[in-house]
Amino acid sequence: MAHQPTTDQLAINTIRTLSMDAVQAANSGHPGTAMALAPVVYLLWQRFLRFDPNDPIWPNRDRFVLSIGHASMLLYSMLHLTGVKAVNAKYEQLGELSVTLDDIKCFRQLDSKCPGHPEYRWTSGVETTTGPLGQGVATSVGMAMAGSWMAEHFNRPGFGMFGYNVYALAGDGCMMEGVSNEAASLAGHLKLSNLCWIYDNNKITIEGHTDWAFSDDVATRFISYGWNVTRVGDANDLDMLTRAFNTFHSTHDRPTLIIVDSHIAYGAPNKQDTHAAHGEPLGEEEIRLTKRNYGWPEDAKFLVPDEVRTHFEEGIGVRSATLRREWFERFEAYEQEYPDLADQLYQMQHRDLPDGWDKDMPTFAPDAKGLAGREASGKVLNTLAQNVPWLIGGSADLSPSTKTRLIFEGAGDFSGSNHAGRNLHFGVREHAMGAILNGMSLSKVRPYGSGFLIFSDYGRPAIRLSALMEIPVIHIFTHDSIGVGEDGPTHQPIEQLASLRSIPGLITLRPADANEVIEAWRVIMQLRHEPVALVLTRQALPTVDRSVYGSAEGVAKGAYVLADVDGGKPEVLLLASGSEVALCVNAYEQLKAEGVKARVVSMPSWELFEQQAADYRESVIPSSVTARVAVEQAATFGWAKYAGITGEIIGMNTFGASAPLKELQRKFGFTPDRIVAAAKEQLAAQK
């Protein structure tokens, strides 16, 4: 410490004392890590991070991700001390601090901008929501991939529009979680040299010392992943930290891991309970002793010396404001030289769509044999991707099956030697794929990822976070039911639809034919704050004759009348999504021939339907018609809302079986005859 400038140490201790005081005031939180890593975060922000506090959404800013979200006071302290300004959802700068001292005083309290774990969109300057360990570092890989792709797409000689770095601060818990290892493996394979993880090697978790559960040689593991690994033996050594960050900047062929050794039980010399220091407030007496050890006023709370604010203004403030100003000056010249690319850059950053984004869409004529949902989606996706250059994505090793490969000229593959490709290969890494898609979306490209619906379980935590952050990630899932057939119950999704529908803010779309697929994609592309799960069939679906039945444009409203009585009021409602809609249409025709007044309602998206006005919902599913049959090759959970307590739900109450599709449909009752019988039973019960 003796060799460090006084202002450096004063700033570091300000971060530490703010963290202690905030956790103590909340009587909740994790002060230890924030105190231990204060020198690391201070040095990174003050001397290296290209981040303008006056414009926290500047496109070419460096990204800082606090993957150890429980140490959130580290980030809130930096947002406050550097004077980061608030920005609203319309990208308007509000002229007020993102995090005020009052917010810090209300740490973990209702409506404070300092919640227990950092939340994107709630607090300006927070690049991603973190909390579940491993998610932050995995998300940072997506940010780095997006940055590299944007550099290849937008940069021109003399116009370096993108070249940002991504820093992620991780802990032992992050290193244990599988998602971080999936993501690290892919990052090394892709040679993402703009990515730097900082690993806080403090050997402490909630239960105690890591020796109980973790003995990995992390350095060797990351070297095997293809990372550059360097080490700092003491988190307080600013000179060694500087050397490590300079090493990252000089490494151009791989990502960098900086292993930093720290001691989590910072405080007075007699502090022994490392668990308390990690996961609980220190206590008033311990705080006084710790402040005395720092040479800090013992009874001062939430003290921020004026010279510390000035120090940050003259450091990160001046340095990054210059970088930002130069970038916008360069962008003005770029607009003159490359107007089309400049328009793309602006539209992408504002989540706008280019003119003609849906031109040349395929058309699908009525066809009894039809087309699989995945096949129709692949055709639409390839059209849209040619119209929207920043629509990029891939699959967890399943693009031949999910039909998500972009096959037009120039699409290319994103690889370690080509970061310009638009086809992403995530390997068999569903969880990392979801987190990486989140990072890409947070960087403003429009990403999609795909896999089988059954494997949505592997990526569900990241899907949940895309909804929590309100970012328009596109999750494409195929092989959506027992229609998978011979692959059997391990591959046949049953409860997954209900699980996805239960996530607040996630829109689930399960189209019934090729034209509903088109309309589903029209909905998806116009979303700005909602992620979507597009659920598609492996098997062919009859293409409905829209001159006879309702228009597929009804998909935009979530549910619509597909087939109806010729006049008057229906007697029975047949409700379905996806492949089961065709079964209901067949049943409808049989009932119609027998004089039964039936209505078929296609329900591709419950979420979109619930967003409609009450009178529209009533017009589609009249409350006065209580004879109802709901049909879906999935768990029945949730359907009672639409079928009613007396309605019949034909669904799955067990796991599936290994057999050809038609045999499975007969076994489990997914046939027009069974639907007709259920409709008649409903009518008889009503009488």
- Plot region of 164 (φ>0 → left; ψ -120 to 50 → alpha; else → beta): beta
What CA–CA distance (Å, rounded) separates 75 from 69?
9
Q: CB-hemisphere CA count at 13 Å for 676?
A: 15
Known catalytic residue: 589? no
The Cα–Cα gap between 450 and 331 comes to: 35
Looking up tokens 């992943």 gives 225
Give the three-class secondary structure for 665: helix
Residues 569 and 622: their CA atoms lie apart, in Å, by: 9
Q: How far from 424 is each of 295, 404, 489, CA to CA, in Å? A: 53, 10, 29
What are the φ/ψ torsions at residue 75 (nearest 5 degrees)? Answer: -70, -45
Contact 230, 256 (CB under 8 A): yes
What is the phi-psi region of residue 199: left when phi exceeds 0, alpha when psi lies from -120 to 50, beta otherwise? beta
Question: What DSSP string runs through 246-299?
Answer: HHHHT--SS-EEEEEE--S--SSTT---HHHHHHS---HHHHHHHHHHHT--TT
Q: What are phi and psi of 156, to 5 degrees?
A: -135, 160
Closest by CA to 579, choosing from 538, 615, 617, is: 538
Catalytic residue among 182, 430, 530, 580: 430
Whether the CA torsion 275, 279, 283, 285 is positive or negative: it is: positive
Which amino acids are annotated catalytic?
430
